[in-house]
Amino acid sequence: MTWIISIANEKGGVAKTTTTFSLCGAFVEAGYRVLAIDLDPQANLSLSMSESTPNDPYSVIDLLINQVPFEKVIRSTNLPNLTLLPANNQLGLAERILPSYPEYKMLLRNLLEAHKADYDFILMDCPPFLGALTTNALIASDLLILPTQAEYYSVFALRNMMAMIRQIRSEGNPKLRYRLLLTLFDKRNRIHCSLADHLRTTFSNGVFESVIEIDTKLRESPIAGQPIIYHAPKSRSALQYRFLAQEIIQYVEEKN
């Protein structure tokens, strides 16, 4: 059974793309077939994963509304079991164009229904705003991973995300699950520790046990074009993202 996972947060710079890229690597290393979908017009994930650039001719929008064949849009990457559905700057138009289509919130879900059998995991890197693309991703998802920093503004921003989850559940995806992931964590920072405790008390098992600490190796991995698990297999963040992937695999096995 395929698991469709969105990595989303309205807050910018909380490691959505880093988490998507790193988890792709960890799932591939564990032997799974992975499709990564870049839903952010900034195309950061596409930049780190392949030769493709924001000038890539096609993006998911061409699949959703222009009827370009799936095979024409997907790209292979330098990892054999990892396929990329790239973004380009045209994707920015999606926010304006998509809502004029009937049942537009269901477009991505319908598309993935036709292709998901070829993959074990589909990971979607969402843009830092809660518009038509993020809505499409969440309607199509089994699980939302919410990367968050243990910073006051980030924790505050979770209110909007919780409202978004309620809305998505009532608008067509009642089974959407979510898990918070603490990222860019500094365990010597007292505020980080106390906000992390606060989140665990508030959300209890809605927070992954895995925590991703600050690690400069994670800043190098997109430049090297390789997920951290392959770029620096023994680094702290590689171990932490591997642990996160195992936590997700265990979770999926329990729910299947």
Ligand X SMILES: Nc1ncnc2c1ncn2[C@@H]1O[C@H](COP(=O)(O)OP(=O)(O)OP(=O)(O)O)[C@@H](O)[C@H]1O
SS3 9: coil
**Residue 52 binding target from Mg ion, ligand X, none, CB below 5 to 8 Å by type:** none
Shortest spacing between CB 143 and ligand X, in angstroms: 17
Q: Does 105 bind Mg ion (CB under 5 A)?
A: no
- The amino acid sitting at 8 is A
**Residue 84 binding target from Mg ion, ligand X, none, CB below 5 to 8 Å by type:** none
Dump the DSSP string for 101-116.
STTGGGHHHHHHHHHG
Nearer to Mg ion, 16 or 242 (CB): 16
Where in 43-82 is the site for Mg ion (CB under 5 A)? 44
- Look-up: residue for tokens 């995806």? 173
Nearer to ligand X, 12 or 233 (CB): 12
Which residues are CB-contacts of 36 (< 8 A; sequence separation ≥ 6)? 20, 21, 24, 45, 49, 77, 82, 83, 84, 85, 122, 123, 124, 125
Q: Does 6 bind Mg ion (CB under 5 A)?
A: no
User: Order of strands, edge to edge, in the sheet holding 143-149?
Assistant: 75-76, 82-85, 34-38, 121-125, 3-7, 143-149, 177-185, 207-213
Binding positions for ligand X, rule: CB under 6 A: 12-18, 40, 44, 128, 183-184, 212, 214-216, 218-219, 237
Q: Does 19 bind Mg ion (CB under 5 A)?
A: no
Nearer to Mg ion, 44 or 149 (CB): 44
Q: Does 11 bind Mg ion (CB under 5 A)?
A: no
Report the C-alpha gap between 7 and 50 in whole angstroms: 20
Q: Does 9 bind Mg ion (CB under 5 A)?
A: no
Nearer to Mg ion, 44 or 221 (CB): 44
Kindly tell me which residue out of 11, 16, 179, 192 binds Mg ion, with binding defined by CB under 5 A: 16
Interhelix angle 152-170/190-203, rounded to 10 degrees, is: 20
Decide: 196 and 185 in contact? Cβ < 8 Å: yes
**Residue 13 binding target from Mg ion, ligand X, none, CB below 5 to 8 Å by type:** ligand X
Binding site residues, Mg ion, CB under 5 A: 16-17, 44
